[in-house]
Amino acid sequence: MSYELPVLRALIDHFKRMPGIGEKTARRLAFAILYTDREEVEDFAKVLLRVKERIGFCSICGNLAESDTCRICNDPRRESGVVCIVERPADIYFFEKIGNFRGRYHVLHGLLSPLDGVGAGDLNIENLEARIEREGIEEVILATSTSVEGDTTALYISEILKGTGVRITRLARGIPMGSTLEYINGNTLAKAFETREEI
């Protein structure tokens, strides 16, 4: 006979399905809910549902949006000539936190990954080609991650856009600021040598 209450077990299992949460952490979070005020938990449940109901993707760039288009696409102060291409809406947050990029974004919602069955048709690429003409975009900055999938996707997009005459750039690769050489991997070091700058 197990003495575990089924409803508590169900809550632990929900937490366990989240990324990076194992049995122990899930159990800790479920017990925390037991000791949380009823009102607070009711609000938590409401917010969970509201996030699913209200948040969709921007029809222009694919960012998170509460209406048809997102807050960045709706902001007339953002430069319309430059588009930064990212993998996920979460990436936009990191760039906005730094705040030096004043252009617009385009979210692919994934990276090309033939092994996982993700092809170009599964990504938000067609929309991008339409945007370049419509918005008179002059520069596309590829900001996909520096993994095999990220590089493959960047290469694919740059091939597609070759004919459009748009300037295609990608984020610089090199040694992270403030880092010690001994902790940097060989690929990064080799790349930093290759693209060394005059001082």
Looking at the DSSP bridge assignments, the partners of residue 65 are 56
Q: Which of 16, 27, 160, 191 binds a second copy (CB under 8 A)?
A: 27
Which of positions 85-124 make contact with a second copy (CB under 8 A)? Answer: 88-90, 92-93, 96
Could you give the CA distance from residue 80 to residue 38 in angstroms, rounded to a whole number? 47
* 143 binds a second copy per the rule CB under 8 A: no
Taking the least distance from each CB to a second copy, the nearer of 3 and 193 is 3
Q: Rounded to the nearest 10 degrees, how much is the dihedral formed by the CA atoms of 114, 105, 68, 112? A: 0
63 with 89: CB under 8 angstroms? yes
Among 32, 120, 171, 190, binds a second copy (CB under 8 A): 32
Encoded one letter per residue, x for contact with a second copy by CB under 8 A and - for no contact, window 36-55 reads x-x-xxxxxxxxxxxxx-xx
Does 25 participate in binding a second copy (rule CB under 8 A)?
Answer: yes
Q: Closer CB to a second copy, residue 92 or residue 112? A: 92
Structural contact between residues 81 and 136, judged by C-beta atoms closer than 8 angstroms: yes
Which residues, 6 or more positions from 103, have their beta carbon under 8 angstroms from its beta carbon?
78, 79, 80, 81, 82, 83, 84, 139, 141
Residue 19 in the binding site for a second copy (CB under 8 A) = yes
Residue type present at position 51: V
Residues of the shown chain interacting with a second copy in the complex, contacts defined by CB under 8 A: 1, 3-5, 7-8, 10-11, 14, 17-21, 25, 27-34, 36, 38, 40-52, 54-55, 64-66, 70-72, 75, 88-90, 92-93, 96
